[in-house]
C-alpha cells in the first residue's frame, strides 16, 4: 500500500512538472502603443480655399494600437504563432483601418527553426516590412506618418494584404527573404474586379495582390529591395490609396511599386536612403509614374536625446504630372525605455498642374501618409509648413 502511494505521488509530480513545462513553452503577450499630440499646419484645405489649422493629432510617430501575439512550441523547432492587432484613435476611440476590429494585422501560422514561417491572414507586404521599417525617416525618427511619402502610394508603411499566404525566411547571417499572395476571394474573378458606379449604384469590386522582397541587416550596414502589386486597388477593403495630394489617378487596373533602400551606422549616427518607383495603370487611358527619392540622417547626442533630418523629392510623370520637395526634422527625448516626447518640423512645396475637365488645376502640397492627418494645402496654396509636439508610450 505504501509503495502504491509513493508511486502515485511520483506520477502526480511528474504530471505537474510536464504540464508546467508545456505551459512554459507557450507564450501570449499583450502589447500596444499610444501616440498623441498637438499639430499645426500653415495651409489646409478649407471652404474658402486654404487656412491655418491647429488640431489634436493622433498616431503620427506611431499608429495607436493594441495587440496580442502568441506562440506554442510544438517540438523539434516547430512553433505555432499568431498575431491579432487593432488600430484605433486616442482622439475619440474610433477603430482605424476602415473600422476593422483587427485591421492592422490578423494572422496565424507555423514556423520552423532554420527555415522560416508560413502564415495566413491580413499581413504586411514586404515593401512595408523590409523598406518602410528600415530605410526611412518615418521609421528611424518619430517623424512617422509625417515623414513617409505622400499618401503611402509606394506602400512603405501601411501596406496590408488581405486573404494572404506569406512565407518569411529565417535569418541567415543577416539575410532574409520572402514572398506572399493575397486572394480576391471572388468567384470567376481570381485577379479581382474594379469597383463600378452606375446609375447611382456602386458595386464593390475585389482585389488581389502579391509581394516579395530580400533584405540584409548585419552590424552597421543594411540593404533591402521589395516589390508589391495590387490588382484593382480600388476594390480592396479598405481601398488602397491611388492619389498624390490633390492628384487623383482614378480607377486603376493595377498599382505596381518597387524600391530599394540602404543604411549605415557611423558611431552614434545613422544615414539612410531609399528610392521607390510606382506605376498607376488606369482602367482606360495612359499610365502615370511616381518616383520618390529620400535621404536622411539621425544622430544620438546622448542615450536619451536624438535628432534626425531628411529630404524627399517626389516626381509624377506621364498622364498626370507634379513635383514635391519635403524637408523633415525631428527631435526625440526618451523619458524611459517605453515613453518618449518629441518635436517635429516639416516643410513641403509642390509645383506643376494638370488639365482636369478642360481646366488647369495646380498641384497642391500634402504632408503625411493620409489626407486625414493635415489635409492638402487647399486651393491657392502650393506649400505647407507643419509643427508638432507629441508623446508616445509603449506597453
Query: pLDDT by residue (tens digit) across 341-377?
Result: 999 999 999 999 999 999 999 999 999 999 999 999 9
Give the model's pLDDT for residue 23.
47
Render pLDDT for 100-157 as a digit per residue (tens, 0 to 9): 999 999 999 999 999 999 999 999 999 999 999 999 999 999 999 999 999 999 999 9
Query: How many whole angstroms separate alpha carbon 190 and alpha carbon 184?
Result: 6
Residue 26 lies in a domain: no
Which structural domain, as residue segments, surrounds residue 354? 32-64+124-394
pLDDT tens, position by position, 39-54: 999 999 999 999 999 9
**Hey, which bits of 188-287 come out as E strands?**
192-193, 196-198, 201-203, 206-218, 221-231, 243-244, 247-248, 252-266, 269-282
Place of cell 516579395: 212
87 and 93 in contact (C-beta within 8 Å)? no
Show the CA angle centred on residue 268, arms to residues 262 and 273, nearest 5°.
20
Cα–Cα dist 243/367, whole Å: 13
What CATH number does the domain containing 173 carry? Answer: 2.40.160.10
In a domain, residue 149? The reply is: yes
Q: For residue 10, how far is the Cα from the chain centroid?
A: 53
> For the chain, how many residues are written?
395
Torsion over CA of 242, 244, 246 and 251, rounded to 10 degrees? -20
Asked if 220 and 226 count as a contact pair (C-beta separation under 8 A), the reply is: no
Give yes or no for a cis peptide into 238 (omega within 30° of 0): yes
Can you give the pTM of this predicted structure? 0.91
Q: How far is CA 394 from CA 31, 63, 206, 343, 369, in A?
A: 8, 11, 35, 18, 22
* Residue 106 maps to a domain: no
- Residue 18 above 50 pLDDT? no
The pLDDT confidence band at residue 393, using thresholds 50, 70 and 90, is very high
What separation in angstroms does the CA of 121 have from each of 5, 73, 160, 188, 206?
51, 21, 10, 22, 16
Between β-strands 116-124 and 243-244, what pairing exists: parallel, antiparallel or unpaired? unpaired
Per-residue model confidence as pLDDT tens digits over 302-313:
999 999 999 999
Say if residues 236 and 254 touch (Cβ distance below 8 Å). Answer: no
Residue in this structure with the C-alpha cell 531628411, named with its chain if needed: 310
Whether 73 is in a domain gets the answer: no
Q: 160-169 and 175-182: which strand pairing?
A: antiparallel
- 141-174: per-residue pLDDT in tens? 999 999 999 999 999 999 999 999 999 999 999 9
Find out whether 119 and 81 touch, Cβ atoms under 8 Å: yes
Compute CA distances 180 → 25, 74, 162, 213, whole Å. 29, 24, 11, 9
> Residue 25: its pLDDT value, please?
82
Examine residue 294 and state whether it is found in any structural domain, yes or no. Answer: yes
Asked if residue 17 belongs to a domain, the reply is no
Cα distances from 189 to residues 50, 181, 202, 251, in angstroms, run 43, 15, 18, 17
Across the chain, what does the average pLDDT equal? 93
What pLDDT sits at residue 220? Answer: 97
CA atoms within 13 A on the CB side of 128: 19
Count of structural domains within the chain: 1
In angstroms, rounded to a whole number, what is the distance separating the alpha carbons of residues 259 and 279?
Answer: 12
Torsion angle in degrees (nearest 10) through CA of 183, 187, 192, 196: -140
- Cβ 61 vs Cβ 390: under 8 Å: yes
Residue 117 lies in a domain: no
Q: Dump pLDDT digits (tens) for 174-223.
A: 999 999 999 999 999 999 998 887 777 878 889 999 999 999 999 999 99
Amino acid at each position: 500500500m505504501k509503495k502504491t502511494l509513493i508511486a502515485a505521488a511520483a506520477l502526480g509530480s511528474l504530471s505537474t512538472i510536464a504540464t508546467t513545462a508545456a505551459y512554459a513553452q507557450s507564450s501570449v503577450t499583450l502589447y500596444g502603443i499610444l501616440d498623441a499630440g498637438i499639430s499645426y499646419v500653415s495651409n489646409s484645405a478649407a471652404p474658402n480655399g486654404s487656412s491655418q489649422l491647429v488640431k489634436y493629432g493622433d498616431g503620427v510617430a506611431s499608429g495607436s494600437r493594441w495587440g496580442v501575439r502568441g506562440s506554442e512550441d510544438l517540438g523539434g523547432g516547430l512553433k505555432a504563432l499568431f498575431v491579432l492587432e487593432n488600430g484605433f484613435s486616442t482622439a475619440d476611440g474610433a477603430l482605424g483601418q476602415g473600422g476593422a476590429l483587427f485591421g492592422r494585422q490578423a494572422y496565424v501560422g507555423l514556423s520552423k527553426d532554420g527555415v522560416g514561417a508560413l502564415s495566413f491572414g491580413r499581413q504586411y507586404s514586404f515593401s512595408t516590412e523590409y523598406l518602410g521599417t528600415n530605410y526611412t525617416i518615418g521609421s528611424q525618427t518619430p517623424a512617422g506618418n509625417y515623414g513617409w511619402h505622400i499618401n503611402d502610394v509606394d506602400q512603405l508603411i501601411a501596406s496590408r494584404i488581405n486573404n494572404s499566404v506569406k512565407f518569411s525566411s529565417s535569418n541567415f547571417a543577416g539575410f532574409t527573404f520572402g514572398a506572399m499572395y493575397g486572394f480576391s476571394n471572388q468567384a470567376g474573378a481570381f485577379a479581382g474586379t474594379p469597383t463600378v458606379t452606375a446609375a447611382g449604384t456602386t458595386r464593390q469590386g475585389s482585389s488581389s495582390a502579391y509581394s516579395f522582397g530580400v533584405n540584409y541587416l548585419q552590424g552597421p550596414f543594411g540593404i533591402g529591395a521589395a516589390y508589391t502589386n495590387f490588382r484593382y486597388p480600388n476594390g480592396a477593403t479598405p481601398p488602397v490609396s491611388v492619389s498624390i495630394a490633390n492628384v487623383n489617378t482614378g480607377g486603376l487596373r493595377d498599382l505596381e511599386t518597387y524600391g530599394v533602400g540602404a543604411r549605415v551606422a557611423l558611431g552614434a549616427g545613422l544615414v539612410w536612403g531609399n528610392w521607390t518607383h510606382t506605376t498607376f495603370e488606369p482602367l482606360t487611358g495612359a499610365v502615370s509614374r511616381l518616383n520618390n527619392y529620400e535621404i536622411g540622417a539621425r544622430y544620438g547626442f546622448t542615450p536619451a536625446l536624438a535628432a534626425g533630418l531628411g529630404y524627399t523629392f517626389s516626381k509624377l510623370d506621364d498622364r498626370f504630372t507634379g513635383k514635391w520637395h519635403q524637408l523633415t526634422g525631428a527631435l526625440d527625448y526618451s523619458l524611459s525605455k517605453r515613453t518618449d516626447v518629441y518635436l517635429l518640423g516639416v516643410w513641403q512645396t509642390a509645383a506643376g498642374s494638370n488639365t482636369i475637365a478642360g481646366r488647369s488645376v495646380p498641384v497642391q502640397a500634402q504632408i503625411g501618409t493620409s489626407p486625414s492627418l493635415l489635409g492638402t494645402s487647399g486651393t491657392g496654396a502650393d506649400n505647407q509648413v507643419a509643427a508638432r509636439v507629441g508623446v508616445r508610450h509603449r506597453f
